[in-house]
Amino acid sequence: MANEPIKIRIKRQPGPGVASSWVDFEMPYRASMNVISCLMEIQRNPVDASGKPVDPVSWDCSCLEEVCGSCTMVINGRVRQSCSALVDNIRKERPGEPISLEPMTKFPVVRDLCVDRSRMFESLKKVKAWIPIDGTHDLGPGPRMNEVDRAESYKLSECMTCGCCVESCPNYNEDSKFIGPAAISQVVLFNSHPTGAMNAGERLDAIMGEGGITDCGNAQNCVNVCPKSIPLTTSIAKASRATSVRMITNLFDR
Amino acid sequence: MLGFGRQRATVVVTTAPIRMNNDQRHFFYRKLHSLLGVLPLGGFIAEHFVSNAFILGGQKSYESAVGWLLNMPKPLLWTLEILTIAAPLLFHGVYGLIIARQAKNNTGNYSYARNRNFMLQRLTSFYLLVFIIYHVWSTRFTGHFTTNYTPDRIDQATGLIQSQQSIYYFMLEKLSGNWALGAVYFLGVASAAFHFGNGMWTFCIAWGITVGKKAQDNARVVFSGIGLALFALGTATVWHLVSTPNPFKV
């Protein structure tokens, strides 16, 4: 099996909102290939498995080292980055079958494997995933952070908004307004920052409504598929605690 | 604002304390759904399983265990039934269906134990909704309160009393030898025990009680244990009723 030609089956869609179809491709094996190098091979010689010329396959990629998240797609039924999906490994998942590539199912398809992840960006805007420090005068140096908190925050800051968590989340779909684990984790990240904490209430308010923290159903796929091993379920529980406390104190404080 | 010094805090005075916008209402309903699942419903289901397990000790044991409920003044009983069972169950069940409808289950590609339990939590809720409607209708609204038994016949061999007052006899008559209904009850018991155990576990996350992975793993052990204990109690109860012969059966 090792040096056999690589068979790939790609779910293709010529444009937004039109029907998709599966197309088979085949190419000679080379050592150490990843899914991106396979797609580049198709780009060089855009013919399907029967030798018929086809349009080159569209896909997104940038960093090629699993830190940008742009090449995320569904490979053999599981969402992940195509740059770190090595052919030698993923061929073993379904022996004898072609490698299957699909665009993520939770976002509108732009073309072939390219999707529009605006919904994730909108969620980040909704939860104010930033620290407002712009002003007309020098605000001075920010407060220092202790090392333990810094280490925890660093892990959360590795999120690249790739979409794996929301793709695998059963509660994130076109019928729900759920903002997903990534955005909730960013609330925890920015609320744990000493300067960011000054706007903690606003971020909590943003997730205390429809599509917010209560729409998590604890299927916990997110933490299992996250390529950066971000403790998303811990972030969700922390946000749950903060919003529960806020709900109760709101009852008595206002 | 006139002050140049400290910024004054804005105090919002609301005239109607319980006026919520859509987002607040959504948050409140979800929290209420979660809370009601534990109190009173979780508490009730535990009490229900434990009380009914006194059936294992026979007629006297069961009737002395549930006597305090049956002998309660009716207006008090009805108030308790409505406030701690009927109303919370109605909200938890109906709102739970709305929540369950939103999920697009994907256990095929992501076959993690947690993901399967997420799906099972929803599947058991569908079964429980149908089962509980049948269960309440057949035990609370018909049957024990309306059936006419021959008053106070005593079987010499077993000492079993057949009477209008005997809730043990009522349940025995329903389930004795009826393996099909026993299976329906067994599924109800299994679903309720799972839904309770898994629900308690997710409640602890939804309210931020178990935050870290280790805490969540420990809670899984605790609530699996409680769930399994309830499952065992319930199964033994149903088994006892199905397998005990009814001496008065014609």
- Which residues, in sequence order, are CB contacts of A12 under 8 Å at separation 6+? A20, A21, A22, A23, A57, A112
Residue at B6 is within a domain: no
Q: What is the CATH number of the domain that holds B184?
A: 1.20.1300.10
Confidence of residue B166 (pLDDT cuts 50, 70, 90): confident
Instruction: Please check the confidence at residue B243 and state whether its pLDDT lies above 50.
Output: yes
Instruction: Please check the confidence at residue A107 and state whether its pLDDT lies above 50.
Output: yes
Closest in A168, A231, A245 to B106, CB measured: A168
**Of the listed ranges A63-77, B155-169, B188-202, B216-230, the one predicted with least confidence:** B155-169
Residues of A in contact with B37 (CB under 8 A): none
Instruction: Please check the confidence at residue B13 and state whether its pLDDT lies above 50.
Output: yes
- Which residues, in sequence order, are CB contacts of A189 under 8 Å at separation 6+? A129, A153, A156, A157, A159, A196, A235
Instruction: Please check the confidence at residue B150 and state whether its pLDDT lies above 90.
Output: no
Residue at B34 is within a domain: yes
Confidence of residue A65 (pLDDT cuts 50, 70, 90): very high
Amino acid A1: pLDDT:
54
Instruction: Please give the share of chain A, as a percent, with pLDDT higher than 70.
Output: 99
**pLDDT higher at B67 or B29:** B29
Amino acid B148: pLDDT:
57
Residue at B39 is within a domain: yes
For residues B54-70, one letter each, b for 16 or more C-beta atoms within 10 angstroms of the residue's C-beta and e for the rest, the string is: bbeeebeebbebbeeee
Query: Is cis: bond before B17, omega within 30 of 0?
Result: no
Amino acid B3: pLDDT:
40
* Cβ separation A170–B106 shorter than 8 A: yes
* Cβ separation A221–B212 shorter than 8 A: no
Instruction: Please check the confidence at residue B146 and state whether its pLDDT lies above 90.
Output: no
Residue at B208 is within a domain: yes
The dihedrals phi and psi of B206, each to the nearest 5 degrees, come to -65, -20
Closest in A78, A210, A218 to B109, CB measured: A78
Per-residue pLDDT of A184-230, as tens digits, reads 999 999 999 999 999 999 999 999 999 999 999 999 999 999 999 99
- What is the total count of domains within chain B? 1
User: Which residue shows structure tokens 């299994």?
Assistant: B190
Mean pLDDT for chain B overall: 89
Amino acid A2: pLDDT:
66
Residue at B248 is within a domain: no
Dihedral of CA B34/B38/B41/B46: which sign?
positive
Amino acid B156: pLDDT:
81
Give the ipTM of the model, two decimals please.
0.94
Domains recognised in chain A with CATH numbers: 6-115 (3.10.20.30), 118-253 (1.10.1060.10)
- Which residues, in sequence order, are CB contacts of A69 under 8 Å at separation 6+? A81, A160, A161, A162, A163
Residues of A in contact with B12 (CB under 8 A): 254
Confidence of residue B2 (pLDDT cuts 50, 70, 90): very low
* 8 Å CB contact between B105 and B119: yes
Residue at B11 is within a domain: no
Instruction: Please check the confidence at residue A118 and state whether its pLDDT lies above 50.
Output: yes
* Cβ separation A220–B112 shorter than 8 A: yes
* 8 Å CB contact between B163 and B153: yes
Q: Stretch B213-238: mean pLDDT, rounded?
A: 98
**pLDDT higher at B12 or A56:** A56
* 8 Å CB contact between A112 and A59: yes
Amino acid B233: pLDDT:
98
Instruction: Please check the confidence at residue B15 and state whether its pLDDT lies above 60.
Output: no
* Cβ separation A214–B23 shorter than 8 A: no
Domain span at residue B228?
26-101+111-243
**Neighbouring C-alpha atoms within 13 Å toward the C-beta of B1:** 8
Amino acid A210: pLDDT:
97
Instruction: Please give the share of chain A, as a percent, with pLDDT higher than 90.
Output: 92
Cite the beta strand spans of A93-233 per DSSP E.
Answer: 99-102, 109-111, 114-115
Q: Compute how many other C-beta atoms are within 10 angstroms of the C-beta atom of residue A236.
A: 26
Task: For residue A180, give how far its alpha carbon lies from the nearest alpha carbon of chain B (Å).
Answer: 13
* Cβ separation A220–B115 shorter than 8 A: yes
